[in-house]
Structure 1
């Protein structure tokens, strides 16, 4: 008998149209931002470029900064899976380092458009702060998984600290010639501290 419940249900026509509109707005915004700079592009211009009203634009993106960071509902899942599904023998800080290097750096290395995108973010204070705030919203969920995987109490402040600093680490790489090296060194520091803590019980 066929399992009708396996896999997600197909997206309906209304949902497809909504997703297409959202993507069109995000694409138009990014194109204009890359051409002229974030601060020199207005919301009305973006709406016109995407052929939507400003009201429709704000239904999809409540603030201007959100236009640059199209919501990724799988982002937190991938982060937590990096800890839960790490290979045997790999420490939690190592797993988080690999996730940071792979998901936050690999795209920039392989695509000139992503390089331009990261340059835009790094050179625009409003975007710089917004993306970090978005990323840090995963702190509590990551801390809970770290506690679960390490057998520590759910409210252990060390787990919260590791989660916070692991998510903050990529910030230190901004503006450096070799961001990979900076991220690697930051996680080496976290590894030493976590090893010392877990070894001490």
Structure 2
């Protein structure tokens, strides 16, 4: 379900990644069929054909099985690859657009399910600010690394504004039941933000 910045190369790493994917896929399937609150970690582990201990080696909490993905490091690497002279907001727009297009092509349904769960489940929604703060710091760091400068207030504000635009876009996309084309919505959001 996740798109890592670089795929694992060793057999052990590939097996771990596959186990993680299987756990996450089974968790989403169970959450959809019986509800997030009605699903236990033991049920997820059984469905994924692993022990509860294995579940917790990959995900520290039940919430993290929904929240965890490899998108942030992937997006950060795309930001760092943008030209240093490009305006920070434009760099974020292009990197997020490229990353979301790739994720959308391979993980559209899982992204929709996970985002819907996060927005509609109080336990997950309560953790949203904490997760967004970590993403904001990652985006700010990637912007700073790309241009060889220290993370300053301007970069933090740009990263926060871009993240707010992305969150509003994802919320709108979920409200439309995923019928709109997400990469196009992201372009529209960044065009609005750029004004």
Q: What's the TM-score once normalised by structure 2's chain length?
A: 0.68
Name which of 177, 187, 190 aligns with 2:190. 187
Where 2:94 maps in the other structure, the secondary structure is helix
> Aligned-pair distance for 1:46?
1.0
CA gap 1:29/1:84 in 2 versus in 1, 3 angstroms: same
CA gap 1:132/1:98 in 2 versus in 1, 3 angstroms: farther
Structure 2: give runs of 5+ residues left out of the alignment: 1-5
In the other structure, the counterpart of 2:165 is 169
Is the deviation greater in 59-68 or in 48-57?
A: 48-57
Return the structure number with greater relative CO, CA threshold 8 A, min gap 6: 2
> Aligned-pair distance for 1:24?
2.4
> Aligned-pair distance for 1:11?
0.9
Q: What's the TM-score once normalised by structure 1's chain length?
A: 0.67
In the other structure, the counterpart of 1:43 is 41
> Aligned-pair distance for 1:9?
8.6
Structure 1: give runs of 5+ residues left out of the alignment: 1-6, 193-201
> Aligned ranges for residues 24-43 of structure 1 at < 5 Å?
24-43=22-41
Contact 1:25–1:50 under 8 Å retained in 2: yes
In the other structure, the counterpart of 2:134 is 137
In the other structure, the counterpart of 1:160 is 156
Distance 1:9 1:106 in 2: 18
**How many residues get paired?**
182
Task: Return structure 1 stretches of 4+ with deviation > 6 angstroms.
Answer: 178-182
